[in-house]
Amino acid sequence: MKPAINAVIIYAKDVAKTSDFYTRHFGFSALPELNGITELTSSAGGAKLLLHKAAKGLKNGQACVKIVFDVDDVQVFKETSAEKGLLFGPTHEAEGYSFSNAKDPDQNNVSISSRAFRS
C-alpha cells in the first residue's frame, strides 16, 4: 500500500484568523475545533488543512512549507482573490502552466498553479 497525503498541519498564531483566510479565499469549510485542531475541508476534495495553535516560540513563516492550490486559470483566480483582499505576486510562466505566490496570515507560503491542468 502506498501512502497518500491526506492532511497538512499548519501551526497558526491566530487559528481563527488563519481559518478565515482559507475559508474566505480558497472555499474551505471549517469543522468545530476538536482536541486543539480545527479541520478545514474542501468540497473539491484533496488534502485537509489541520490548524493547530503555534507554540509561542515559533516564528511566523519558520517552517519551509508551500501549500499549492490547483486552479485552472491563475489570472482569473488572482483577480477574484484581489477583490477579497488577497494579493498574489507576479504570475510566473513555466512549461505549459503558470503559478503565483502569496502568504497566509502566519507567513506560510501559498501558491496557486495551473500545473495540474496542463495539456
Going across the sheet that includes 98-103, the strands are: 66-70, 109-113, 98-103, 92-93
- Hey, what's the torsion of the CAs at 93, 98, 103, 108, to 10 degrees? -100
Is 64 strand, coil or helix? coil
**Predicted local distance difference test score (pLDDT) of residue 3:** 59
Per-residue model confidence as pLDDT tens digits over 75-103: 999 999 999 999 999 999 988 889 999 99
Residue 78's SS3 state is helix
pTM: 0.78
Tell me if 108 sits within 8 A of 61, measured CB to CB: yes
Domains and CATH numbers, the chain: 6-55 (3.30.720.120), 65-119 (3.10.180.10)
The edge-to-edge listing of strands for the beta sheet with 48-53 is 7-12, 48-53, 37-41, 29-30
pLDDT in tens, 12-69: 999 999 999 999 999 999 999 988 999 999 999 999 999 999 888 877 767 667 898 9
